[in-house]
Each structure stands twice: as structure tokens, then as C-alpha cells.
A and B are shown apart, each in its own frame.
Chain A
Amino acid sequence: MKILVCISHVPDTTSKINFTDGDTKFDTNGVQFVINPNDEFGLTRAMWFKEKQGASVDVVNVGGPETEPTLRKALAIGADTAVRVNTEAKDGMQVAKELAKVVQDGSYDLVIAGRESIDYNGGMVPGMLAALLDANFVNNCISLEVDGTSAKAIREIDGGKESVSTSLPLVIGGQKGLVEESDLRIPNMRGIMMARKKPLNVVEPTSASAETASVSFEKPAPKGDVKLVDADNVGELVNLLHNEAKVI
């Protein structure tokens, strides 16, 4: 089985979010970039398929040279090779079209992407990729088993979960549950050394263009101070929630 894991290069959760150029560009100054958390669950599950079922695992990112450290980290975790599509990621459709070309060229059976990235939160690349490839698709996937060309998955739904059966070729929008947080892998020294020797192939983009554009950014209005209520006067909280906040 050939697996491709899509890796988003995103600001660490604790990053300060600021914008430059008249609030038209994300300010990367001082920002630490990481593998998108939802992609990390997928990458770890892919490692399981590699170790238990002999699958090959490649990783891919659409982005400039600045994303290569993130791809190297994925190689250090255990991926075999990495592909970087050498173009700025502009929107979900453009990224999905670039990824579709990589999937077709590499004849992958299973593509695992995170359900959404923690920067632009579009939640669209896995579904768009599946549709472009005419592949099966399971979103919000919290469990995945593959046997030959058959697959069984569980997806999280509002208020519960749903078990589905499908077949390869398959695209997964993954999240926590594919593996547990405690199973996530941290690259060890040997992995880091080996990652230096693994291929990181840079491919040129297709002519895919974006269909949406972030024209400008805004930050939420500053929040006022918390209104503290005395622990001996809980009735006041009820009063505030009813008369002031109007939420009960």
C-alpha cells in the first residue's frame, strides 16, 4: 500500500497572531512553525501501517522552501520520502489541485490529510482532493483499518460516531482518535540523522490558481476585564447571566 500524508506547515498554537502590510499578510516574524496537529495524528497512523502492514509512507507539502524543516521533521518521524510542491499555498482549491497531481503521479492508494489546518481552518483540502481524484472520502476520521483494498473507518458525527466501509483509493480527513495523543511520535536522534539522507523532492507546480483570496485580516476587538462574582454570592452570577448577558 502506498500512503501519502499531506502536511501543513502551521504556526505553533502558542504563536502571537499579527499581520503586516496594512493587515494583508500574516506576520511570520518570531513565529515557530510545526506540523499541523491534525496531520500529526494522520502521520502517526501511517507509521502504524508502515510497521504492521509494510506500507510505504511519503509526505507532501505545498509551499516555499521555508516549509522544508517541517517536512524534515515528518521524515525524522519515519516517512520514507518527502515532496514539496514549490509554490505558495493560496487557498484550499489550489492546494488540492497541486496535491491531486502528486497523488496521480505517485499512484497512491491512501491519502491522509488532517480534517483542517490550525491556520486558515478551511477544512476543505481533503474533500476537494477526493473529489478531484474521484476517490472515496471519509472526513473527521477517528479510526481506520485497511485490509487489502477494503477499508473500515469510523467518523465523528454531531452527537456520536458512524462506522463506514469503503475501499481504496481513499482520502481521509483525519483527527485525534486515528491515534491517541500519547501515541504521537517525537523524532529521536537516529530519526533526525536518517532524515538528512532521505529524499526531499521539489516539484514545480501546475497552473492551478486560487479561487478565493484573503483580502485583509482583522483581530477581534479587545475583550474587557472579567467580571468577578463573590463565591458567597452566586445568585449575582445568575442575575448577570440573565439580565446583562441575556444567555439564560
Chain B
Amino acid sequence: MSVLVYTESDKGTFKKIALEAASYAKAIADKMETTVTAVTINADDTSVLGNYGVDKVLKVNDSNLDAFNAKSYASVMQQATEKEGAKVVVVSSSADSKYMAPVLAVNLNAGYASNVVEAPSNTAPFTVKRNVFTNKAFANTSIDTDVKVVGLSKNAFGVVEHSASAAEEAFSPSLPESTVNVESVDKVTGKVTIADAEVVVSGGRGLKGPENWGMIEDLADVLGAATACSKPVSDLGWRPHSEHVGQTGKPVASNLYIAVGISGAIQHLAGINASKVKVVINTDPEAPFFKAADYGIVGDAFEVVPKLIEELKTFKAQQ
């Protein structure tokens, strides 16, 4: 009857979203007076999971699962759910988990709520709050099936530490035949990605051209941040499409989002609204982004950003 959680790892190491998902599963388990079982796939050291509320780890080690495959991973999670008799399954909002969860929901005949931002307000009926209308509203959603799948929004619940240890058990589920085969993976290395970033520094057309992106990268470097851009910038080819954030680009749910030279079109705001703190640097005091921002500087980015980089370097040196 435990709460099951899929704790994702990358090259054997748990991602922050996995620890957040485990923390969230623990919150549900406490409400339901039960325990938390985590499923790991090709993760190295799983002992850390006890520190985030996990009581038991089902360790899956299989080279056939080295490359993510939605059907195979959903099958692993289905078998784990059935083995544990779990009634609630928690996944994150990573690209892979959002790929897998709907397939898992069908396999389990489970209702599925994605983009969930809080612990359930009620467990009977099981009711969660989720982001809807591209972060412009919340829906309190009941899941009315026996088994429930919950997709947790990134950075919505946070990582909660517990001092406990988790029992480990090897788990060897059967795998379906793979019919979607990975040919190649082209992943950015050595850079913070938008998906994992705590801080995102984003540039818009106010930067006047791709030759001026050095200061965005310098600002990102000093903050350990990912770089991003507005849609016009990616459409103009100044930056790769993978950096476009907004409604039709990547969603951002960072702790800090710094927008430089971005006016704040509604489609852009829709994609970054889930960020906790927003800073805007723009020459135009009437830019709509100032209405959505927490902090702002009305000024020329070419003067403000270098000063900000220096101030941050001084601040970091003092820490």
C-alpha cells in the first residue's frame, strides 16, 4: 500500500527533481499513514534516498534500460506498482517522466494529474492543485481511480530532508520489446541546462545582435545559471531553438529568472510564470515585463549587465 516514486538519475546520480519527488511522496505517505518506495533505474548509490523520506528502494539494474524508453520504463513502474500494491505513484515533470507517465496511467487504469504544485489537500477524494491555463490559474483536481499517478511540477514542493535510511531490494522486472529505438543523443555537456537550472539568464532583442551574447553568458557563469532567450531571438537565429523559453518553447520554473532586453510578450510570460523571482533589465519603463517582475532596473543592458556581473563577483568572493 506504499506510495511509489520514480527517482530519476543521470549517469547513475540522482537529479534534484528526483529528491523533490521523493520528498513529495513522503508528504503524501504521511497523510495516508503509509510508507514510500522508490524505484531507481541504473542508479549507483541509492542510500541517499533515505534522507528524503524513502523507506524502501527497488533497485533496477539492466543495460537494456540505459537509454530511456517510455514503454519500457512505464512497464517497470507498472510492475513495481503492482508488486508494492501502491495506490499513488509520483513522477517528476522532466521530459522523460512526462513522456512515460501517460503510458503508465493507461497500463495501471489510473487517473493522472500533471503539473501538480502542492501536497494533496485531501486524500478521499484524492485532490491535488495543478497549474492550468499556462500558469495563469490553478485547478483543484480530484483523481477518482483506485490507483493514481501524480506528476509533480519542478520546484513547486522543494526538497525536504529527513534523517532515515532506506532498505534496498534488487528488482528485475520483465521488459517489453522496444519498438522506438534511440539512434543518437546530442546532449549539452559542461553547461547548466534550462531543465535543471536554479537560475536562468535570458536575453531578448534588446541585445541588438548575437555578437552581444557574451555578457549574457558571463552573467550566467557568475550565477551558475542556464542561458535562455525570447522567441524572436531564436526565430532570428541569434540563439539555438533549444534556448527559446515561452509558451511554445521550454517552460521555466527556476528560483530566479533574469530577463535582459525582453519586453515580456504574453506568450513569453506564460512560459516563465512558474519561476519564483523575476528580474527585468530593460530600457523601456513601459515594457509589460515590469508588471510581471519582482525586481527591475530601467536602464541600458550594455551598462547595467557588466556592473551587475562585477557586483555579483564581489558578492560571491565575500560568501
Contacts and interface: CB of A to CB of B under 8 A. Distances in A.
Given A119-B133, A248-B315, A165 B183 contact: yes
Interface stretch (A51-59, A70-78, A190-198, A208-216): A208-216
A182 interface: yes
Contact of B295 (A19, A164, A181, A226): A226
Q: Is the interface of B mostly helix, strand, loop or mixed?
A: mixed
Contacts of B143: 211-212
A211 B112 CA distance: 8
Given A127-B103, A158-B96, A181-B231, A247 B276 contact: yes
A165 B181 contact: yes
A186 interface: no
Contact of A158 (B94, B100, B180): B94
Contacts of B270: 13, 118
Interface in A206-248: 210-220, 223-224, 226-231, 234-235, 237-238, 240-242, 245, 247-248
Interface residues of B, number: 91
Interface stretch (A60-68, A101-109, A133-141): A133-141
Contacts of A163: 182-186
A227 B73 CA distance: 46
A235 B141 CA distance: 44
Contact of A182 (B179, B185, B235): B235
B199 interface: yes
Contacts of B98: 123, 139-140
A167 interface: yes
A164 B297 contact: no
A210 B105 CA distance: 13
B294 interface: yes
Contacts of B307: 234
Contacts of B235: 180-182
A220 to B, nearest CB: 7
A159 B296 contact: no
B95 to A, nearest CB: 5
A203 to B, nearest CB: 22
B292 interface: yes
A189 interface: no
Contacts, number: 260
B180 A159 contact: no
Interface residues of A, number: 82
Interface in B118-142: 127, 129, 131-142
B312 interface: yes
Given A93-B105, A128-B105, A138 B180 contact: yes
B175 interface: no
Contacts of B182: 162-164
A158 B105 contact: no
A218 B138 contact: yes
B296 A226 contact: yes
A32 interface: no
A156 B102 contact: no
Interface of B: 68, 70-71, 74, 94-96, 98-103, 105-107, 110-115, 127, 129, 131-145, 179-188, 193-196, 198-199, 223, 231, 235, 241-242, 244, 247-249, 255-256, 266-267, 270, 276-277, 279-280, 290-300, 303-304, 307-308, 311-312, 315
24 contacts: A93-B106, A122-B114, A159-B187, A159-B194, A159-B196, A163-B186, A164-B181, A212-B144, A215-B141, A216-B139, A217-B138, A217-B139, A219-B136, A229-B296, A229-B297, A231-B298, A234-B297, A237-B297, A245-B277, A245-B294, A245-B295, A247-B198, A248-B199, A248-B223
Given A128-B106, A220-B135, A241-B256, 4 more contacts: A120-B133, A121-B114, A122-B115, A164-B180
10 closest Cβ pairs, A-B complex: A127-B102, A231-B299, A211-B111, A158-B195, A159-B193, A160-B187, A131-B106, A124-B102, A247-B256, A139-B99
